[in-house]
Amino acid sequence: MKKYLYALSLGIKETMAYRADFWLGIASAAFPIIIQVFMWQALYSGSGGGALFGRSYAQMLAYSVSASILWRLLKTGFEYEINEDIKNGGLSKYIVRPIEYLPYRLHCFLGQKIGVLFSGLMLMTLALTGVGLSFHVSPVSLQGVLLFLPTLLGALVLNFLIFFCVGMWAFWLSEIGFLFEAVRIVIVVLSGGIFPLEVFGTAVGGALKLLPFTYAVGFPVDVLTGTVTGPAVLTGLCFQLAWIGLMVVISRFLWNLGSRKYLAAGG
């Protein structure tokens, strides 16, 4: 247990040492948000001010702001470290020592996020307050905030597991860095990190909501902004937990399969 607590503290120290990277990453969210403001303004103006995709203009802006910031809060990067461990032999020290690689990486990741979540959520609060003041509405409620917190924790763990599985591809592929970025772009779209999945249409959007990606961004944001309420929140949480359980199984399977190949290759 102590070794995992050490990994947690290591992640916190790493975040504090690279605070500028975090704030630059958050600042970069401003550019896509500005682009979306103009895009949605044009689309809603053409619709005569009515709702699009089941959301008012204020609700759409609240979603866009929240999703853009949340995606950057949950953004990973440890998959590159996994790739380095596998390619340069750094993985050996985890195999010979009594420490499991998956829990170790999870604690490091959580440590990194503990240092930034509070600041990021405060920024999200300010942004949503700005949207509310602009349209004289309240984009979030106290109930939405309270329900959002467990979905945020689930999204944090699920996002880690998804990219841990992606990182495991380094056991079988070389020069995988560009693939990481390609996968990240696809996942941010499928998760609702840019716009709601309803944009894809009823059939496609409904199918995408059965995949794990939406429970890493879109679902928590919909809970926060009140688009998903009542029994739908409980249903979504059940789906989120189910995907976390399944991704744990897949992660361990890929690790066991890959580590045997790593040992057989003499890494």
Which positions ≥6 away from 224 have C-beta within 8 Å? 66, 140, 144, 145, 147, 148
Confidence of residue 23 (pLDDT cuts 50, 70, 90): low
Buried b (16+ CB within 10 A) or exposed e, 165-204: bbbbbbbeeeebeeebeebbeebbbbbbbbbbbbebeeee
Rounded distance between C-alpha atoms, residue 36 and residue 22, angstroms = 22
Q: What is the pLDDT of residues 147-160, one digit of tens each?
A: 999 999 999 999 99
Mean pLDDT within 235-259 = 94
Query: Mean pLDDT, to the nearest integer, of 78-106?
Result: 81
Cα 139 off chain centre by: 21
| Average pLDDT of the residues in 150-178 | 90
CA dist 51 and 47 (Å) reads 8
More confident residue, 195 or 18: 195
Q: 3-class DSSP state for residue 196? A: coil
Q: How far is it, in rounded angstroms, from Cα 101 to Cα 98? A: 10
In sequence order, which residues have a C-beta less than 8 Å from that of residue 232 and are 6 or more positions away? none
Question: Is the Cβ–Cβ distance between 84 and 170 less than 8 Å?
Answer: no
Query: To which residue do tokens 């004289």 refer?
Result: 136
Say what percent of the chain tops pLDDT 90.
Answer: 31
Share of the chain above pLDDT 70, in %: 84
The DSSP call for residue 123 is H
Q: Which is nearest to 195 in space by CA: 52, 60, 86?
A: 60
Residue 28 has pLDDT above 80, yes or no: no
Domain-wise residue ranges, the chain:
2-264
184-243 pLDDT per residue, tens:
999 999 999 988 999 998 899 889 999 999 999 999 999 999 999 989 999 999 999 999
Distance (Å, whole) CA 217 – CA 205: 14
The amino acid at residue 190 is: L
SS3 52: strand
The pLDDT of residue 128: 87
Model pTM?
0.86
- Mean of the pLDDT values across residues 118-123? 81
Residues 6 or more apart from 63 whose CB is under 8 A from it?
55, 195, 196, 221, 222, 225, 227
CA-CA distance, 225 to 81, in Å (whole number)?
35
**With bands split at pLDDT 50, 70 and 90, how would you rate the model's confidence at 41?**
confident
22-32 mean pLDDT: 66
217 neighbors 70 (Cβ within 8 angstroms): yes
Distance CA 267, CA 15 (A): 30
Length of the chain counted residue by residue: 267
Q: What angle do CA 241, 200, 210 make, to 5 degrees?
A: 20
Mean pLDDT along residues 87-103:
77
